[in-house]
Structure 1
Amino acid sequence: MNKKLILKLILLSIFLIGFSIRSFAQKKHAFEIKDGHFFYDGKPVQLISGEMHYPRIPHQYWRHRFKMLKAMGLNTIATYVFWNAHETESGEWDFSEDKNLRRYIEIAGEEGLHVILRPGPYACAEWEFGGYPWWLQKVEKLELRSDNAAFLTHTKNYLKRLYQEIGDLQITKGGPIVMIQVENEFGSYAAQRKDIPLDQHRKYNQKIKDQLAEVGFDVPFFTSDGTWLFDGGAIDGVLPTANGEGNIANLKKAVDQYHNGKGPYMVAEFYPGWLAHWAEPHPAIDASIIARKTEEYLQNDVSFNLYMAHGGTNFGFTSGANYDKKHGIQPDLTSYDYDAPISEAGWVTPKFDSLRNVIKKYAKYSIPSVPAPNKVIEIQAIKLSKAADVLSMLEKQKAVQNNTPLTFEKLNQGHGYVLYSRKFNQPISGQLNISGLRDYAVVYVNGEKVGELNRYYNQYSIAVDIPFNSTLDILVENMGRINYGAEIVHNNKGIIAPITINNIEIEGNWEMYKLPMDNAPVFDNLSKSDVYNVGEPKAKALQGRPAFYEGTFNLSEAGDTFLNMEDWGKGIVFVNGKNLGRYWQVGPQQTLFVPGVWLKKEKTRL
C-alpha cells in the first residue's frame, strides 16, 4: 500500500478516535421536572444531595471531599455562589484558586455527581453580608434585595458574568448542573419586610428569575423557603422546595398548592447540624435523629439536600453574623463545621456512618468505599521571634481626616480594622459613648489600654480620663456583616454615629488609619523602630496594645493540623500569607484549622 495513503489512514484513525473520546466526554444527558417527579435521562430519580461550598475548602481538597460525599451515598452536590467572593470591586472579577467555581463544578461532574447551583444573588450561608459585595452600599440610590433599578443593574451584571464562567456546564449543554435556585429564602425576607407591599416583593423575585433566563440559564429553576413562607417566596411555574421541613404531609400539601397540585417534593435544606456563634455554646443534633429522618425521606420519594454535608472553614474575613434584638449582632465562628457528617477537616464522623448505612439500603447505585483522610501532623510549640507595634506603625501612615468619624464604607474599606484617633488640647473625663460602634473596639488613651467595647454584649460606653494634650485611640474591628433577615440593609461598619463624652459630641480633627489586612504583614517592610525581638523589654511592653507577631518553623512533612489559640485573646492568624480567620478567647472555638497544603516542608511563616 502507498506509504502516503497509510499515513493518511493513520491520521484519520487518530482523528476519529480523538473525536470519539471528545464526543463521549461531552455526551448530553437530560434532566427535567414532569409528572410530579425528577427525571434523569427519562427515568425517575431521587436527588440525594449534600451542600458543600467551594471557598470554604482549599481547592486542592475538592476532589477528596467529593469522593467523601459519594462514599456517604450522595448522588448530587449543591453549592451557593458567593457574589462577593468573585466581584471584589465593581467590575473586577476573581475566579481563581479557591474561587474557581468552574473547576469545582467540573470535578463534581468527573466524580459522577449532579450539581445544584444556588447563585442567589443573595446566599445567606452565614457568609459575610449574605454574599453581597460590601461596596454595593456605596452605590447611589441602591436598595438591596428589592425591585430597585440600581440594584437590578448590578444583579444582572453579576449573573451575566457568572453565565460566561459556567453557563456551558449546565446539563442542557453537556455539564453536571441539573437545577438552579432563584434568589434564596425570599419568603422569610418578604415576611420580615412588611413595610414593602407583597406584590412588590413578588415583582422583584420574578425579575431575578427573568434575569437568570435572560443571561442564558435554561435548566429547571426552583425556590427554597420554609413551607409556611411559600406565599412570599414561590414563583409561578417554578418548583418550590422546603427548608427545614420534617413533616412530609406539610411538605406535600404546600408544594401541591403552589405547583400545579403535584410534586416533586424536595427538602432543599435538611439540617444535620446547625450554625454556631461566638460566645455561645456549640449546637449539636444527634446522629440517630438525622438517620431516622433520612430514612423517612428515602421511603417516601422525598429528595433532599443536607445543609451542610461538609461545612469547611470561614477563612479570612468571610464569616457573617446574625442579628437579634438582645445582642444586636451574633458573629459567626471561623469554623463552619456545622456539626455536619463530614467534619471541618474532612474527617468521617458517626453521623457520616449513620447516613451511609441508611442510604445504602435504598440507593439504586453502588456506593464506593470511604477514601482515606488527609495526613494529620502535630507541630511542637512555635517560637515567635519578632513583634511590631500596630498603633505606632499606623500613626506613621497618612491619615484620612474628617470632622466626624467615617464608616468603613466611606473610607472605601470592606473588612479588617480602622484606627480612629483624636488629639485633645484640653483635659476631659467622663463616660465615652460609641452607640454607633460596628462591631468591636479597643480604647486607648496615650497608648494605654482603657478597655473594650463590644456590640454583641451591648457594651457601648466606658469611663475615660483624658489629660491635657493627650490622644484618644479607638481601634475598631468589623466582625462580619449581617447575613440574614431584614437588618441586612443596615450593614455599614466602623463608627456610624457621633461619639460623645458626657453626652457632648466630640467633633473636629478625627484621624482615621486604615488596616484592611488584605495581606499578611511583611516585617521586612515595616519601620525598624516599630519591630522588636520577642523577649526584649520593648516587646514585653506591647502587652495590652495591638501587635503583630511573627515566627517561623520547619517541618519534615506537611499535613493538616490545628493551631490552639485559647491563650491569645482576640485576633487573626496568617500562615504563609493565608488568613486562617479570627480567634477569640470567649469561644466556643479555640483552635484554627490549618490545611496541610498551605504549609511547607521547609520554612513556614506564621
Structure 2
Amino acid sequence: MVSIRVFLFISALLTINVMGQDPPTLYQYYTEGGISSGLETLTTRQFTLNGKPITLYSGSIHYYRVVPEYWRDRLRRMRSAGLNAIETYVPWNLHEPEIGTFDFGDGGNDFSPLLNITQFLKIAQEEDLFVILRPGPYICTEWDFGGLPSWLLRYPGIKVRTSDPIFTGHVKQFFDQLLAQVVDYQFTRGGSIIAVQIENEYGSFGAANIQTSYLEFIRDTYVEDGISELLFTCDSAVSSGTTGALPGYLMMANFNNNPAEQFDKLLELQPDKPLMSMEFWVGWFDHWWSTHDTGLTTDRLTTNLGIIFSYNASVNFYMFHGGTTFGFLNGANSKGSFPFYEADTSSYDYDAPLSEAGDYTTKFDIIKDMVAQDNQVSTLIPNPPLINAKIAYPTVAITEFLSFEQIIQQIPADLITQIDTVTNMEALEINRGSGQSYGLIVYRKQIDIPPNAELQITGRIRDVAMVLVDGVQKTKRPEGALLLETFGYWTQENPNFTIIDPPAGTNTLDIVVENWARVNFGSPSDFEQKKGLFEGPVSVDGQVLSNLTAIPLEFKSKWVKSLTGWQPVEGAGQLQGPLMVRAKFQIQGTPTDTFLDMSAWSKGCIFVNGFNIGRFFLQGPQVTSYIPAPLLKEGENEIIVFEHYIPGTQIVFTAVPNLGRKKITN
C-alpha cells in the first residue's frame, strides 16, 4: 500500500502543469480526460474514482439541520479542512410529511426551505466536494423515529425495516420520488454523488429480525430508479459481522474507539476490499436531564485517527458539522433501566470539528493537519473562511401573552376531533388521513370533578403530561431528577394524580401530552412509537371518561404567525403556563448570529419570526438556543415562546453558546 500512496503523490504532481501554479481542483483531477467510471473497489484495498486511486476524507453534514443560506459556508469550511467528500442522510419524514405528499423544497411546509436536496448537491459540487448519499429509508441520526414518517404507525401491526408489503410499498413510492430528484447528480453523469448506502446500520436491528430480502428490495429499487454508483452497507464490524450486510456489496465500519479491532474484522470478512469508517464518531449527542457529552477527547481523536490512517483506510467524520435539530424533530433512545427513555436535545452540536454555529474547534485543527499529512493527492484547497460574527442583542421584555384557552380557541376546527376514548396522536383523522406527527395533544372532557378526585391513566404516558382544570395548571414544574418518579412522565405505569380543590360545578379537564421524541435506534419493539394516551381508558374517581375531544397542538409556522388576541403582560400578574408569550425587537442593518439564554425559563419551544428553532428545558444540559442570522431580518423581529409552566419575563441574548456541564470523560 505504500507504493500506492507514492503513486498518488506522483500522479498529483504530474497533474500540475507548471511549477508555481495552483494545483487542480478535485473535479479537474478526477475528471481529466472525461468520466469513464465512478467510485470502484476493483484495486485490492484501494478505492479508485474514474480509474484514479483515491482515499476518501469525508465529513457528515445534514442539509436539513442547517439553514440553506449557510450550506455553502459550511461546505467551504469542510473543504478547507482538506476533506474531499461530504456525507448526508435523507429524512423521509420531512420529504413526505403526509401520505403521498412529497416536498423537495417547494411544499410550503415549515421545513421546505431546508429540503431542496438538489440545490445542496449542486453547492457541494461547486465547493469541490464529492457526496456520499445515505437515503435510508431508516437513518437513525438522533432524529425522530429514525427518519421514518409517523403516519406509518396508523397501520396496525406494521413491521418497519422489513419486507412487510405495506412498509416496502411506501418506501418504493418515496424512493421513486427521491431518486428521480438525485439520479442526474451522480458522478458518472457529471454530478457529485459517488456512493449510496443500502439502508443503515441494519445489523443493529437484531439478528433475528434481519431480512436479506428487504436489503435486496432496496438495492433493486435503487437500480430500477437509475442509481449506478457504488453501493455499500455500514455497521459495527465487530458486533454485527455480516449481519445486516448484503452479500457482494462493500461493508464499512462505524465506531469511535478501537479502530484496529474494527478494521481487522473487516479484513477478515472482506480481505480484498478497501477499508473505510463510514461513521468515525468524533463527538457525541446529548439527552435532556443529563450532562453535555463531548465524546472523544482530542488526544483520543488524534490517536484513533492515526490508527485509521495506518491502515491506509478512508474515513467519514460523524459529525463534522452537526447543526441544529429544529422544531420537534429530535430523536430519543430507549434503555433497559430507569428512566427507560431519554429524549435528545435540540442542539446537535455533537462537539464536532465545526460547532453548531459553524465555528472552528480544536478538533477541526487536528483533522486538518492530519489529513494534510496523510493525503498524497495535491488539489486546490481554499483558505478557511472567517468566523461568522456573533452578537448579544439587547435584552427585551415579554410584552404580550395568550392564555391556554386563547390558544385552544384558535386551533382550526377541522383539526379538532371527537374520540370515544383516548387515542394516540398518529391515529387522529386529520391532515388528509396522516394523523398528527409532532407537538402536543390535548384530551379534553367536560366533567364535574369532586374535591380531591383521583385521575387514573391506564398504561404509560407518552411522553410528558400536564393536567389542567379550567385552564389552570395542576402539575408541577419539573425540578430535579426525582420528579421522574412521580406522575406526568413515561416512567410510571398506570399513574394516578390527585386533583386538589377543583372549582365547583362542571369543569374543563385537559390532559395535555407532549410527544418529546420517538426513539430512533434499536430493535423492532423500539419502533412501536405511538404518542399520547392510548393503552387504556382514563378515569376520574373510577368513572371512565368517554366521548373526549382531541385537540392537536402542532405549532406549525403559518398558524403561529396567524395568532391574534394577544394581551398585554402589564397588569396581568404572575403568568402561569401553559401559555404563549411574545416579544418584539428591532435590528438595524444586517442581522447577525446569536443565541437565546433560556436559563430563567421552564420547558417549551421557541419561534423566531414563526420558525420553530427547537425545545428548551430547565433541567438541561442545553441552556442556549442557536438563532442563525438568516432567520432574523432587518427591522422588526418577533420571538414567541410556548411555555409549559412558569415563563421568564425577558428574552435574553448571548453571543456565547452554553450547552451545559460537560460529562467527565477518560
* TM-score greater than 0.5 by the shorter chain: yes
**1:314–1:49 Cα change, 3 Å:** same
Aligned equivalent of 1:516? 554
Question: C-alpha offsets along residues 429-474 of structure 1, whole Å, 9 cap, x if unaligned?
Answer: 4543433311111111232221155435548443224555223211
Q: Give the letter for the 1:215 counterpart.
A: D
CA contact (8 A) 1:245 1:267 kept: no
Q: 2:586 aligned with 1:554, yes or no?
A: yes
Q: 2:214 aligned with 1:180, yes or no?
A: no
Residue from 417, 421, 425 that aligns with 1:408: 425
Q: Give the letter for the 1:31 counterpart.
A: L
Aligned equivalent of 2:431? none
Q: Work out the CA distance in 2 between the residues paired with 1:332 and 1:248.
A: 27
Question: C-alpha offsets along residues 319-354 of structure 1, whole Å, 9 cap, x if unaligned?
Answer: 111111322321110000001111000000111112
Residue from 91, 94, 97 that aligns with 2:103: 94
Q: 2:504 aligned with 1:496, yes or no?
A: no
Aligned equivalent of 2:385? 371
Q: Return 543-552 or 388-397, whichever deviates more.
A: 388-397
Residue from 513, 519, 522 that aligns with 1:485: 522
Aligned equivalent of 1:344? 356
Q: 2:477 aligned with 1:450, yes or no?
A: no
Q: Work out the CA distance in 2 between the residues paired with 1:147 and 1:521.
A: 38
Tell me by how many angstroms 1:272 deviates. Answer: 0.7
SS of residue matched to 1:451: coil
**1:93–1:560 Cα change, 3 Å:** same
CA contact (8 A) 1:556 1:601 kept: yes
Aligned equivalent of 2:39? 31
**1:469–1:409 Cα change, 3 Å:** same
Residue from 437, 441, 446 that aligns with 1:423: 446
Q: Work out the CA distance in 1 between the residues paired with 2:578 and 2:259.
A: 53
Q: Work out the CA distance in 1 between the residues paired with 2:541 and 2:51.
A: 71
Q: Return 29-38 or 182-191, whichever deviates more.
A: 29-38
Q: Work out the CA distance in 2 between the residues paired with 1:524 and 1:409.
A: 25
TM-score by length of 2: 0.82
Q: Which 5+ residue runs of structure 1 have no aligned equivalent?
A: 1-20
Q: 2:73 aligned with 1:64, yes or no?
A: yes
**1:535–1:25 Cα change, 3 Å:** farther
Aligned equivalent of 1:293? 304
Q: Work out the CA distance in 2 between the residues paired with 1:101 and 1:111.
A: 15
User: What pairs up with 1:25-174 in 2 under 5 angstroms?
Assistant: 28=35, 30-34=38-42, 35-96=44-105, 97-139=113-155, 142-174=158-190
Residue from 307, 312, 319 that aligns with 2:318: 307
Tell me by how many angstroms 1:590 deviates. Answer: 1.1
CA contact (8 A) 1:295 1:359 kept: no
Q: Give the letter for the 2:255 counterpart.
A: G
SS of residue matched to 1:206: helix
User: What pairs up with 1:528-543 in 2 under 5 angstroms?
Assistant: 528=565, 531-537=566-572, 540=573, 543=575
CA contact (8 A) 1:288 1:354 kept: no
User: What pairs up with 1:247-258 in 2 under 5 angstroms?
Assistant: 247-258=258-269
Residue from 398, 401, 412 that aligns with 1:384: 398
CA contact (8 A) 1:520 1:578 kept: no
Tell me by how many angstroms 1:175 deviates. Answer: 1.0
SS of residue matched to 1:579: strand
Q: 2:630 aligned with 1:587, yes or no?
A: no
Question: C-alpha offsets along residues 37-81 of structure 1, whole Å, 9 cap, x if unaligned?
Answer: 210222221111111000000111111111111122211100101
How many correspondences in the alignment? 571
Q: 2:505 aligned with 1:473, yes or no?
A: no
Q: Give the letter for the 1:479 counterpart.
A: W
Q: Work out the CA distance in 2 between the residues paired with 1:276 and 1:66.
A: 24
Q: Work out the CA distance in 2 between the residues paired with 1:512 and 1:69.
A: 47
Q: Work out the CA distance in 2 between the residues paired with 1:320 and 1:26.
A: 46
Tell me by how many angstroms 1:477 deviates. Answer: 1.1
CA contact (8 A) 2:253 2:263 kept: no
Aligned equivalent of 1:7? none
CA contact (8 A) 1:573 1:581 kept: yes
CA contact (8 A) 1:429 1:501 kept: no
Residue from 577, 595, 598 that aligns with 1:565: 598
Q: Work out the CA distance in 2 between the residues paired with 1:505 and 1:309.
A: 55
Q: Which 5+ residue runs of structure 2 have no aligned equivalent?
A: 1-27, 106-112, 429-434, 477-486, 640-666
Tell me by how many angstroms 1:598 deviates. Answer: 1.0
Aligned equivalent of 2:463? 439
Q: Work out the CA distance in 2 between the residues paired with 1:220 and 1:523.
A: 45
**1:327–1:160 Cα change, 3 Å:** same
SS of residue matched to 2:300: helix
Q: Work out the CA distance in 2 between the residues paired with 1:454 and 1:238.
A: 48
**1:248–1:574 Cα change, 3 Å:** closer
CA contact (8 A) 2:404 2:471 kept: no
Tell me by how many angstroms 1:505 deviates. Answer: 6.0
CA contact (8 A) 2:236 2:262 kept: no
Question: C-alpha offsets along residues 237-288 of structure 1, whole Å, 9 cap, x if unaligned?
Answer: 11010110644443344323443x3221111110110111101111123112
Q: Work out the CA distance in 2 between the residues paired with 1:406 and 1:56.
A: 31
Aligned equivalent of 1:18? none
SS of residue matched to 1:242: strand
CA contact (8 A) 2:388 2:593 kept: yes
**1:593–1:248 Cα change, 3 Å:** closer
Q: Work out the CA distance in 1 between the residues paired with 2:561 and 2:244.
A: 51
Tell me by how many angstroms 1:605 deviates. Answer: 1.4
SS of residue matched to 2:247: coil
SS of residue matched to 1:268: strand
